[in-house]
Chain A
Amino acid sequence: DIQMTQSPSSVSASVGDRVTITCRASQGISSWLAWYQQKPGQAPKLLIYAASSLESGVPSRFSGSGSGTDFTLTINDLQADDFATYYCQQANIFPLTFGGGTKVDI
């Protein structure tokens, strides 16, 4: 199985900040990576797919980059609505696997 390691596990930030979250795969997955945002009591919401493609309706302050084993989710100009937990998911091959999550709080 491909293991996904996210860092940091949590980050404190303020409105207007830039936040960067990293996800590392245990083996190469090309660009087959997705990012999700989850708020308490809600289902995850797709933000980014294919490592850098922005899902329809997602604000442009969210961006993704990377390929192979190392990936990054960047949130520019952090808004109050962005405080949540973020997960990466490798989409290269079954079994699918998620990272452990990164909580972004104030």
Chain B
Amino acid sequence: QLQLQESGPGLVKPSETLSLTCTVSGGSISSSSYYWGWIRQPPGKGLEWIGSIYYNGNTYYSPSLKSRVTISLDTSKNQSSLKVNSVTAADTAVYYCARLWKATTKFDYWGQGTLVTVSS
């Protein structure tokens, strides 16, 4: 059974960099059948797609976040990473990683999510 687990600091100061890792178990992050994505949800609000990465390193980002976001893969550790630069309070959210099936672009497996608060 595929499992995804987000990890990283729960509190980040304004103007600093938010860094999260998604560890995948029960499957390979190097498969050509999937993208690996990041989605966030501010408290009490809806879902926002941040970006996705393919096994070959090709990345796709939300236009509203593109200038501040980097998504990468570490195939040796079976992990995906998310970095968001110059954070503000508006970046406070639950951050999810999820597997995106290439053939149908559906997010079929999700991590449990991790709350990141931006505050001094």
Contact = CB atoms under 8 A, between A and B. Distances in A.
B107 A101 contact: no
A94 B98 CA distance: 16
A16 interface: no
A96 interface: yes
Interface residues of B, number: 21
Interface in A51-106: 53, 55, 87, 89, 91-92, 94-101
B interface: dominant SS: strand
B62 A34 contact: no
Interface of B: 37, 46-49, 52, 60-63, 96, 98, 104-108, 110-113
Given A38-B47, A49-B104, A98-B46, 18 more contacts: A1-B63, A32-B104, A32-B105, A34-B105, A36-B107, A44-B47, A44-B107, A46-B107, A50-B104, A87-B47, A89-B47, A91-B104, A91-B105, A94-B60, A95-B60, A96-B49, A98-B48, A101-B46
Contacts, number: 62
B106 A43 contact: no
Contacts of B104: 32, 34, 49-50, 53, 91
Q: Is chain A's interface secondary structure helix, strand, loop, or mixed overall? A: loop
A98 B60 contact: no
Contact of B106 (A46, A94, A95): A46
Nearest to B108: A46
Contacts of B48: 98
Interface of A: 1, 32, 34, 36, 38, 42-46, 49-50, 53, 55, 87, 89, 91-92, 94-101
Contact of B107 (A1, A50, A53, A89): A89
Nearest to A87: B47
B98 to A, nearest CB: 8
